[in-house]
Structure 1
Amino acid sequence: MYGCEWDDETGATNGFFQDGYDGEDFLSLDLKEMRWISPVQQGFLTVQKWNKDTANTEYQKQYLSTVCIEWLQKYLQYGKSSLQKTVPPHVSLLQKSSSSPVTCHATGFYPNEVKISWMRNDEDHDEDVDLGELLPNEDGTFQKMSTIRVTPDELKKNQFSCVVEHQGKTIKKTLTDDSLPIGIIVGALAAVVLLVVISVVVFKVYQKKKGFKPVSASDDGSNSSAHSDAKA
């Protein structure tokens, strides 16, 4: 594995060249000392041989510090529109019930640097807080969540807010005790949709068993009226 790094703000550069064997580090190039090193005894003979080949070591240094940096800057320029894009997060507060932990979910943001924190009465609050891992989305953006455990009584007496900071912008969501938990809303909606689907299926089966046929718009006036009402 080899590559280079470039800081577009300070101009600092760095490079690395590493070899592994059976999933473990075998040897690597120390650019500052200009020598190969190995963390395992099995790599000592190779290190001694490669350190004698000063021309190859110098070649690797020149590549990592010049050619690699030039290509890196070129590729960054080619992909500037996508690599340097900024997409703000969509923040939601989720709760299964009034006694369940509250989750602050930030998703759809890019790049991946994001900070999620909690406030209690406009003061920093880090007790009973669990921060989740950064996860990728299918569209190339990222998501992350933070959960806080708060009782209904605490919620009535205090104001809790989730603060999401991304690329210099701050999004603040405040949790209130008079809102219906989102988890219940989603569950109720799913139940209604499922009930509608089941009703349609049962009605279709009933029609088939009774020999009913669909009513078209070209039938007589009473059927047309019924069809129009159903359509409306």
Structure 2
Amino acid sequence: MTDVAIIDYGMGNLRSVAKAIEHVAEGRAVTVTADPAVVRAAGRVVFPGQGAMPDCMRELDARGLRRAVLDAAHEKPFLGICIGQQMLFAHSAEGDVPGLGILPGEVVRFDDARMVAADGSRLKVPHMGWNEVWQAGPHPLWEGIEDGARFYFVHSYYVAPQEAGLTAAHTDYGVRFTSAVARANIFAAQFHPEKSAAAGLRLLSNFIRWAP
């Protein structure tokens, strides 16, 4: 039986995600899979992704993975990463497409007119590189991670939850945006923990041991 299923719907190189999770999984079976049956049988699920939202939603459906993702998000420890976070929400401005609707809220683009740093310099979109992540409150996945720790980002869009209580962390980049969300068995982040050195590995290790 697969302990951790990493969902592969053809959008992005999942090797770095798999290697990072294998590093902290202590002998647990980690499988990159496009098989809905494997996702359903797994003990916990990771939902990563990169690329454009319309392409991601199309490929998810083309591979017959939508129902498996919906079920996993309701039933077992579930970690969304980057586009995998955005797809959980109801709608995205990127391509004006509906998401999975698991969480209430929108995915919006950084407003170029507002992308100004504190010193007055212009900020580039996409937001790319290391930035501070400020925790909204305690959560098992933050255990051992300093508030304000730096994580690695690559994105032009971010989630705007309809419910304030969904926000698990925020980050400042021209605007203050939600950089992680949490509800029940779901935790999802805009940043890439697999590319975020020690803090990212600690978050993945916490996920492997999380029992919501």
Please confirm whether the aligned pair reaches a TM-score higher than 0.5, indicating the same fold: no
| Structure number with larger C-alpha Rg | 1
More helix by share: 1
The bucket for the TM-score relative to the shorter chain is: under 0.3
After TM superposition, the score normalised by the length of structure 1 is 0.22
